[in-house]
Every structure is written in structure tokens, then in C-alpha cells.
Structure 1
Amino acid sequence: MKPFGLKSRKTERLMALVAIALLLFCPPMIIVVDRLPAFSVGWLPVYLFSAWAIVIGLAAWLMEHRAGR
């Protein structure tokens, strides 16, 4: 059985990840990225895919970080 401190810390980190994801995908942030000057490719698809990859990567890292111990 895991100590209470480890479980609450993991919960806090996951809640922080949700807050980061909400900030990354909030409409004002998407509008700012969408209005950046585009040279050849628009910045919105690049931003959305990279932000989504970061959120997925952080979630995977947080879920597997303590599995080895």
C-alpha cells in the first residue's frame, strides 16, 4: 500500500497538468496563436499538435514516474 503523501502528491501533479492543459487550449490563447503572421504554414496546427503532444507526454511521464519504485 502506498503512503498517503505519495498519492496526494501524484494527485496534485495531475491537477496541475489539467490546469496547464486548460491554459494551453483556452480560446484566448488559441486566438493569439491563430493571429500570428504565417509564412508558409499556419501556426495554429503546429501549436495544437505540439501542445497536445506535450500534455500527453507529461501525463505519461507522471503516470509512469513512480511505477518503477
Structure 2
Amino acid sequence: MKPFGMKSRQTERLMALVAIALLLFSPPLIIVVDRLPTYNLGWLPLYLFIVWAVVIGLTAWLMEQRAGR
């Protein structure tokens, strides 16, 4: 049986991840990234791909820790 503190800590970490993801995908930040100097390279698709991969990776890491305990 898991202690009460472990479950609430996991929940807090997942809630923090959701908040960070919402911040990273917020329209003001996306507009800033979209308006960066291009140098013949589109920064927006690269930013969206990297942020999405990081969010998926962190989610997998957090859920894997939960399953391992």
C-alpha cells in the first residue's frame, strides 16, 4: 500500500507539468517564437515539435516512476 504523501506528490507533479505545458503553448509565447528572425528557417514548427516532445517525455518519465513504485 502506498503512503498518502506519495500519491499527492505525484499528482502535484502532474499538475505542474500541465501548467508548464499550458504556458509553453500559450498564444503570446507562440507569437513571440513565430516573430523571431527567420534566416530562412521557420522557428515555429521547430519550437512546437521540441516542446511537444519534451512534454510527452516528461509525462512518460513521471508515469513510469509511478508504475515502478
**TM-score under structure 2 length normalisation:** 0.94
- Counterpart AA for 2:61: W
- Counterpart AA for 1:22: L
Partner residue of 1:40?
40
Give unmatched runs, 5+ long, in structure 1: none
Q: How far apart are 1:41 and its partner, in Å?
A: 1.8
Pairing of 1:1-69 with structure 2 (within 5 A): 1-69=1-69
Moved over 4 A (4+): none
Q: Deviations over 1:4-39 (max 9, x none)?
A: 100000000000000000000000000000000111
Superposition RMSD in Å:
0.9
Q: How far apart are 1:67 and its partner, in Å?
A: 2.3
- Counterpart AA for 1:18: V
Identity %: 80
**Cα distance in 2 between the residues matched to 1:66 and 1:17:** 15
Give unmatched runs, 5+ long, in structure 2: none
